Each structure stands twice: as C-alpha cells, then as structure tokens.
Chains A and B, each alone.
Chain A
C-alpha cells in the first residue's frame, strides 16, 4: 500500500474506502466524502478535510489520477479516478482487510 506511519490502521482504512469509492465511479473530493457517508448509512463519517492529504498521498503513489472537470453545478472541480495500479491495490487490500477482520472475529469468539 502507500507508505505507512504511526496510525497505520486508521490511514489504511481511509485509503481503502477511497479506492473502493473511486472504483465505482470517478468523482471529486467532496463527492467521495458524501458517498462514503451515504453507502455506510452514516456509520462512517470521514473527517472531510483530512480526505485531501489522503488523496494527495494516493496520487503521489500512482494509485489514483486526477484532472479538472465540470461539476454538477458547473463549477470547476478536480476529479479523481482509479489507475490500473490502484485497481490492483484495491483487490490486495480488500483481501487483506477481510482476513484481518476474520481473524479478529475468531479471537473474539473464543472467550
């Protein structure tokens, strides 16, 4: 994945969510936040501003690409999309996450 530092889990999760969101359809930063909120039915509230550093990180890592485009309200917005590397990373990290979640589940069951 992208370069990790202290809050690994937290950061990794945002990246995963962003990649997944963009896999469905390219959109702009605001749109990503809204979609995650919608799809998770309000469970996951991403802190809006901290999306952008994540987007920058993913872009520098080559997992997403961006370009200017017109928004719904005809304003200029920066649209992000998945690259091929991004798609591969999404598959790997989804797999990884599922194994992790399953393992935690097992530990919780055994008490």
Chain B
C-alpha cells in the first residue's frame, strides 16, 4: 500500500514536471522564510538574516539539480541540456565532428537512397484505389475484328462475364506516337487503354470526363485524355478544355479529359487513347509489330486471388483444344496481384543492394564507434572528475549517448541530402513496368526510415564507448600522463576487434564489387557483332495519315538516305526496321529452305530484319559471303535475303547457301544473296539467334531506325541525322536520338547502375577500413613512443621498427580477411542473378579483392610506422 503511494508519487513527478518544480520551489521558499524568521528573532538585521539563511541552506541550484536528478532522467529539460552540452563539445572539436558526421552521412545516405528505391518498387502501395484488390490476368486474349473466334483461349468478353469474380476487367498497352500541333513534333508515350481502365484502377480524371464505351466503337470521333504535365505545359493549364485537340500520328484527337497530377500509368504515359475491343488495325499506330497488352482486373468483394485463379483456370479448361490434355497453367500463374506482377524479378535485385548498403552502414558505424572510443579515452579525466563530483553513472552515460545521438542526427541529415541527390540516379533500378506508377521519392516514409537508421546507429556506436568510459577507474584516470595516450587494455582490445570487423565487412563488399566488375567487363567484351564506335542512330514512326501507301514510305526512306549520302561527313547511312542491342526482345518468323516445308519440326524462326543495302557497312557487320539484299527486281516474285552465320549453319552446314531459296509459310520466297556475321539481337547478354535480312524498300515499314557512320564524332552525327529528317519531312517526329554506344549502354543500364553502386560501396568501405587500421596502429605507436625511442637510441634498426609496426597492421588486416572471405563465400549466392560469364565464387575476384585490401592496409600502417622510426629518443623520454 505504501509502496503504491511511493510509485504514484514518482510517476506524478515524472508526468507533471512543472507541478513538481513548483512544489519544490514552494518548499524551498517556505524553508528559507522560516530560517530568516528564526534569524530575525535572534536579532539579526533583515539583510544579515537573509544572507545567513541562504548560507545555511547551501547551494540552491545544487539542491535543485539533486532533486531533479532524483525525479528521473526522462524530463525533456534534462535531455535538452545534455544535447546543448554535447553540441558545445562537438564545436570544440570540429575536426573530429566533421569526420564522424561525414562517415555517418555516407552510411545513412547510401542506405536511405537504396531504401527509397526499395520503397518505391516494393513497399509503397500502388497509387490506385484499394490496390491490393487489383490483379493481372494471364492467358486471356483480345480478338481482332473480323477474326474467327479461336478455340484455345478465353476472350476478355468471357472473363468480363464472370461478374461474381471480377467487378472490372480492363486492358492496357504502353506504346508511342508522334505528337504534333503543339510546338515541335515529338514522340510521346501513349497508353492505349480500354475505356474502363481508369474506373478499374479507381483513378477518375481531374478535369473533363473519363473514356466511355462509345469512344471505343470503331469509327467514333477520336478522343484522348492527357496527363497533368502535358495539360499544364502544352495547354497552359486552361480549365476550359472544351474543343481542345491534339494531333497524334497525323490524326486529330479531341481532348476530353485531364488525369490527376502524378498519374502516369503505364510506363510514364502522357496521353491515353481508347482501345477498341475487338482490336482494329489502326491500333498498330502506337506499336511496332506486336501489341504488349496486359489485362488488369479488380476482384469482387470477398473473392481471394486464389479463388479468382481457380475460376479463370476453369474457364481456360473449357476452351482447351485438346480436352484430354490438362491445362498447363496453375491458378497462381493465371491471376497474380498487380503489384507483384509489375515488379517481376526486379525486387530481389533491390533487396540485395539493400543488404550491401547495410554492410556499408555497419562499417561506418564501427568506424565512428572507434572514433568515439578514442575520444572517450582522451576525456577520461573529465569523466572521472564528473563522477567524483557526484554525477551518477546513468547521467554520464546519458551525456555520452547524447553526443552520439547528436552526431547521428547531424550525420543523418547529411545522409538524407546525399540520398536526395542519389535518388535520381537510381531510377534505372526500379522495374520498368512500374515506372510511371512508382517514381522514386524521398517522402515522409523514407525520411522516417533515415531517422530510425540514424538514431539506431547513434545508439549502437555510442553505447560501447559510453560503457567503456564508465568503467574507467577514477583514481587511475586522474593521475598519470598525457591526454591521448593510455586507456586500459580492454579499450585497446575493443578497438582492435572493431577494426577487424570493419576489414571483414569491407572485404565482403570488395569481393562483391569485383564479381560485378568482372561480369560487366565480360559483358562489354562480348562480341556484339557490330562496331558501335562512331555510329549515330535515331528512330521514327511514319504516321499513316502522312504516308498512306508503301510507295510514300519508300520515297521517304530513299529521299532521306540520298540527302545524307550527299553530306561529306557521312560515310555510310542506312535504315533498319529494328535496331539491334536496344534491349527489346526480337521478333522472329518461321523460314525454311524450299522443299523443307513438310518437316515442320525442322523449321527454325529467324529474326525478321528489313534493311537498306548500306546497313552492314554502316554498322560494321562483316559480310562473310555475297552481298547485301536489294529490292526485288522487277518482273520476279523472288526477293533477296541475306542470312546470318547461324541460320546458314542450321540449314546448310558446311556448304555455301548462296543461291539457295528460303520460304515462309505464306508461300513468299527469297533467294539467299549473302551471309553476314551474327549480331546479338536484344542485349549483350542474350544468345545469338538465326537472323534474316530482307530489303526494307520491298516492304517499307512505318517504324524504322536510321543509322549512320561518319567522319565526325557520333554525338555530332546525331544532329546531322536530325537535321536531315527535318529537311526531308519538317513535321516528322524523331525519338531515341543517340549514338550506338548509348543504345548498347542503355540496354544494360540497370546492370551498370548496380555495378557502379556496389563498387562505390566497396571503395567507401575500403577507405573506412583503411582509416580504421591507421587509427589503431597510430594509437598503438603513440602509446609506445617512449619504448620505441629508447630502442632507437640504443641502436635498433629503424627498418625493423617500421617492419614491426607494419606487421601489426597486417596481422589486423589478415584477421579480418579470414571472416571476410568466409562471409563473402556464404553470401555470394545472392549475387547469382547479378553475375555474367563467371561463377559467384570466381577465384580471380576472391583473390584480387583480398590482395587489394591487404595492400591498402599495409599502406595505412606504413604512415605511423614511418613516423615511429623517426621518433626522437630524447623527446620521447621527456614525454613520459
């Protein structure tokens, strides 16, 4: 009972500090008054009475402090005071503070930057209404108009009929079109969507109206919705959009609505046009070759993803052509949560990166812990004095922790600045299907994470030194020599352990970096098949409205090439329907030698490439036999084709295929006129496939790329190409204007970013570890200055002194190398998807990294070693 009263009294003092202070003041006041009264009665003057009373009471402030201390350290006032004292302490040592803040900043910054990418891709829910009810559907078709209904897959109409499972079923496809009529013509990203897509996602337009079923009827007036950015930029943010139009691909579209700010789904679309169901041919305006449709649906209430999957599977089974064969797809493959589906495989890569940043953070924290430890040792006089003057150990620890937390917060702020700058660079790490729906932002959640990391780090690296300082025995600390030397063996051992840990972590990162660098090197030295130096490219799409017939398009390409050929700086110019190595999967068509038609299992699909004759010369592709394909001569049905080595080996191994004939299932025939070397189709890390080059002028596609090799640097040459297009067709939009080297680099951009990141982490960790080694060795040398001085004075070889100190450093580094190698060995399997051309336990990486580390560690130890050998014996002895 009494205990309860006591606890209540204590709680009340903590929870209502002002009341407690007031009571204390009143009690003191009362006490003093009584004492003064007593003195007055004893005959003193009022002034003397007061003075005597105060003296008898003792130091007012001291007693106030003691009372406050007794009440408990949770009072905000105390913490504020501790932080202010900490701030003053740091201001007195700006060098130390700067190093510590920088180190923490790097650690927190790296972690926060990668976390913002992880947050954008994996954690933040999609910006739609109830996003966890949205799913993506697989193996559902959208039919073509007039097409006979196939019998092996369900249609979107059938799925829409399942109203008990899905409340909405919509489709979208990200494409591109030429935008004109608003300034310079440019390529714009278009979302071709069924009219109910926005209703499915739950994002209504900001202005105007949504798309309706009327809009998707073929022949209906063309309409479009625009993005907030486009509306603000090109339409002046005019609230009255009635009657506004934009020109897409030569057709006028009425703008009927504006989407809310920040909405850019899919794929950073700026304009949305209706997708008719069934599909009509003008849909191809926005795409090249195939339509990358995806189906998205909203689950009805109470329906789970698994149930929807089962339902769809049942539907699929009803359609299967061969009823005796079970449906191959599982429910989980058919209906997937939208977020997971868009992330795809990219998520694990991000998590690996987050793990790497955690390592960097650990190294940074260890380094700062070491710094703080040395500082605590240097301040042990001050701490001992405080302890003797009555500061409780809790108070002392609190003071030291306040310093650490202050450092952590300042460092954290610096880290956030680094993260904000770095966030933009990490854009390539977010899976591309998510771009537009999940931009990388440093928002409150990311900031909260940064704060949590900083505070945890501050407590972690602050606690050790604080506890270590507390153990310093008061008596021993107050006597004895200079400021920086000394400290007991426990502290010294702790510092060595810290450094060994740093070295191990740094080695793990370095090995990871080596693996990635070797992979990148392997990738870049992969034979791509082209000579990219000096080649400029651009892509364009000829709108049907401007170039209705094949003849029109042919004329455009010929006029363009003519104009460029006449330019003296251009050595070779050509056009191709699909640039290689730009990171897009190739399309292939069945071809087979004449006469092989019945043997369908021997058919191979070859990438269909349409080129103008100078293509191989422009791209530096070797012509192994024969010549490039030209347009079909008049009067014959047989066109010309050049095939790559692989296709030649498949169908005509060991012999020359020149003169042989290739056929397609549609009965078209080509004569092989040349054999060229292989070119990697989509990206450097893709396998080589059979390729067939036909004449572009025979079937001039509307989507093409222009390539040119010239006598001037590629970057300047791109400008020449652009001007030529503008001269031949002033209103023609071009896009992806870049050098061939940029094209190749772009396709592997995510890999390069990851490599760059991990390499940076590895180097940072290496620096920090080197500094750590230096610190500990220098510390040890300073401690033994006297001993070294005497040895040198007695004739010891300076070389041996240096050797001894360096050996100490090497021992530390080696002690860290062993766990580092082990850790790297164990964790390397997580890098499986990152490496190319090497194993995750690549011996070169596993030897090069430790060697580099030991070399740097030796250097780090060399500096104090050299200084040790120069110790003046007389000076040394005077210090002691």
A-to-B contact residues, CB < 8 Å: 5, 28-30, 47-50, 52-53, 56-57, 59-63, 65-66, 71, 73, 75-78, 83-86
Contact = CB atoms under 8 A, between A and B. Distances in A.
B585 interface: no
Contacts of B244: none
B144 interface: no
Given A5-B392, A29-B31, A63-B2, A53 B70 contact: yes
B27 A78 contact: yes
B30 A60 contact: no
B6 A62 contact: yes
Interface residues of B, number: 34
A50 B58 contact: yes
A63 to B, nearest CB: 7
B826 interface: no
B6 A56 contact: no
A77 B23 CA distance: 10
Nearest to B33: A75
Nearest to A59: B9
A66 B9 CA distance: 9
B29 to A, nearest CB: 9
Contacts of B5: 62, 65, 83
A97 to B, nearest CB: 21
16 contacts: A30-B34, A30-B35, A49-B57, A49-B59, A50-B58, A50-B63, A53-B63, A53-B70, A56-B13, A60-B70, A61-B3, A62-B3, A65-B9, A66-B9, A76-B30, A85-B3
B28 interface: yes
Contact of B58 (A47, A62, A71, A85): A47
Contact of A60 (B1, B6, B33, B58): B6
B2 A78 contact: no
B219 to A, nearest CB: 87
Closest 3 CB pairs of A and B: A62-B6, A85-B2, A83-B2
A57 B9 CA distance: 10
A83 B70 CA distance: 20
A62 B63 contact: no
Contacts of A73: 34, 37
B635 interface: no
A84 B30 contact: no
Interface of B is mostly: helix
A49 B57 CA distance: 5
Contacts of A71: 30, 34
Nearest to A56: B70
Nearest to A83: B2
B527 to A, nearest CB: 77
A52 B27 contact: yes
A104 B798 CA distance: 63
B282 interface: no
Contacts of B58: 47-50
Nearest to A72: B34
A30 B30 contact: yes
A66 B58 CA distance: 23
Given A47-B58, A52-B28, A53-B66, A78 B23 contact: yes
Given A49-B58, A84-B1, A29 B70 contact: no
Contacts of A66: 9
B2 A60 contact: no
Contacts of B59: 49
Interface in B1-47: 1-7, 9-10, 13, 23-24, 26-28, 30-31, 33-35, 37
Nearest to B11: A60
A65 B10 CA distance: 12
B60 interface: yes
B31 to A, nearest CB: 4
A52 B67 contact: yes
Contacts of B31: 29-30, 48
A57 B26 contact: no
A74 to B, nearest CB: 12
B70 A49 contact: no
A38 to B, nearest CB: 12
Contacts of A52: 24, 27-28, 63, 66-67
B717 to A, nearest CB: 82
Contacts of A77: 27, 30
A75 B30 CA distance: 8
Contacts of A57: 70
Interface centre among B7, B59, B67 (most CB of A within 10 A): B67
Contacts of B69: 53
Nearest to B32: A30
Interface string B813-843: 0000000000000000000000000000000
Interface string B59-94: 110110011011100000000000000000000000
A52 B433 CA distance: 69
Contact of B67 (A5, A28, A56): A56
Contacts of B7: 60, 62
Contacts of A63: 2, 6
B635 to A, nearest CB: 111
A44 B670 CA distance: 120
Contacts of B634: none
A33 B392 CA distance: 26
Contacts of B1: 83-85
Contact of B9 (A5, A47, A48, A60): A60
B879 interface: no
Contacts of A48: 31, 35, 56-58
A62 B27 contact: no
Interface in B620-665: none
Interface string B430-466: 0000000000000000000000000000000000000
Contacts of B70: 53, 56-57, 60
B26 A59 contact: no
A37 to B, nearest CB: 11
A28 to B, nearest CB: 7
Nearest to A33: B31
A86 B6 CA distance: 11
A57 B3 CA distance: 12
A99 to B, nearest CB: 25
A49 B3 contact: no
Contacts of B56: 48
B57 A59 contact: no
Contacts of B62: 49
A19 B30 CA distance: 21
B396 to A, nearest CB: 13
A53 B2 contact: no
Given A29-B30, A30-B30, A61-B6, 14 more contacts: A48-B35, A48-B57, A50-B66, A53-B67, A53-B69, A56-B70, A56-B71, A60-B13, A61-B3, A62-B5, A65-B9, A73-B34, A76-B26, A84-B1
B4 A62 contact: yes
A89 B104 CA distance: 52
